[in-house]
Amino acid sequence: MAHRKPKVVVTRKLPDAVETRMRELFDTELNLDDTPMTANALGAAMSRAEVLACTITDRVDGSVIDQAGETLKLIANFGVGVDHIDVAAAHKRGIIVTNTPGVLTEDTADLTMGLILASARRVVEGANIVQAGEFHGWSPTWMLGRRLWGKRLGIVGMGRIGQSLAKRARAFGLAIHYHNRRPVGARIAEELEATYWESLDQMLARMDVVSVNCPHTPATYHLLSARRLKLLQPHALLVNTARGEIIDEAALAGMLQRGELAGAGLDVYEHEPAVNPKLLKLPNVVLLPHMSSATIEGRIDMGEKVIINIRTWMDGHKPPDRIIPSML
């Protein structure tokens, strides 16, 4: 006898392979035109679903969760970060929240290293010059960037992505420094030859490159505040592939505009998808459209994680990637 298929509402278009498998396993309602749902549409979806498969573009706050029907039992997030979901409100309603950790680590680390290289060596600026037909020949003093070999990289958040970035950065001759809530294990620290800084302020003041790789939580909002940004050396580069809210974007844009910081590479923004207009006008900033996890393989792996979490819940077990408020 076939099992009853739970009602799953998917809020955005996912890779075809993922959507097809979800249709096979669940009573799945897809978002075929990929239009982000409004708060009212999200509330309506939650009132008729048993599982909401959402993404980071969905603001699932307390007011939306209040609209959930009695049948909604699981919010299966397609992504690692859950700062767009009021996990505490969901938990209070008895709704499980899951995410998709681990599958995006290498992709995000790859792009972070790419942003470091692009910022240090002015890659995008140079490409734009060639495409605009303004390349008139080599010159010994033109388009000079900065060598990475022998420089210090400060990683803010030494989780999976931070550690994977550190491995790549070591191959480019960067000395690894990091700030974290607590030091990594001795074996990892030895393998990465990583120096731990309990004081973020002290680390920032000594680094040539700083990469933000921590999650966005209430505790990390504007972790790199205007005051902390001023601790960076004028020749330093700042890269962010985590969440835009971790950096005071207005303060960063002002420093870059005034030449108080050498450059930045940003894949995320504080008021995404809006980008500070000052940043758009600066030649020493590499700006990407939140694409650090954007690989075909990564997106399919994320979808498979969502499916595993839903199927585990269907079988009456605790999903492997369950998020509880105390974890945040």
Q: Average pLDDT for consecutive 10-residue bins of the chain (328 residues)? A: 82 96 97 92 95 96 94 96 94 96 95 98 96 96 97 98 98 98 96 98 98 95 98 98 97 97 98 96 96 96 98 96 83
* pLDDT at 64 (0 to 100): 94
Catalytic residue among 122, 243, 270, 299: 243
Catalytic residue among 160, 206, 290, 322: 290
- Note the pTM of the prediction, 2 decimals: 0.90
* pLDDT at 229 (0 to 100): 98
Phi/psi at 97 (5° precision):
-120, 130
- Omega before residue 273 within 30° of 0, cis: yes
The answer to whether 243 is a known catalytic residue is yes
- Could you report how far apart the first and last alpha carbons of the chain are, in Å? 41
* pLDDT at 88 (0 to 100): 95
Catalytic residue among 272, 304, 311, 322: 272
Residue burial 12-35, b: 16+ Cβ < 10 Å; e: rest:
bebbeebbebbeebbebbbbeeee
The answer to whether 290 is a known catalytic residue is yes
Strand partners, 96: 74
CATH superfamily of 7-103+295-327: NAD(P)-binding Rossmann-like Domain (3.40.50.720)
* pLDDT at 270 (0 to 100): 97
Residue 36 · residue 58 · CB < 8 Å: yes
* pLDDT at 297 (0 to 100): 96
* pLDDT at 328 (0 to 100): 60
CATH topology of domain 105-287: Rossmann fold (3.40.50)
Span(s) in the chain for CATH 3.40.50.720 = 7-103+295-327, 105-287
* pLDDT at 327 (0 to 100): 67
* pLDDT at 4 (0 to 100): 82
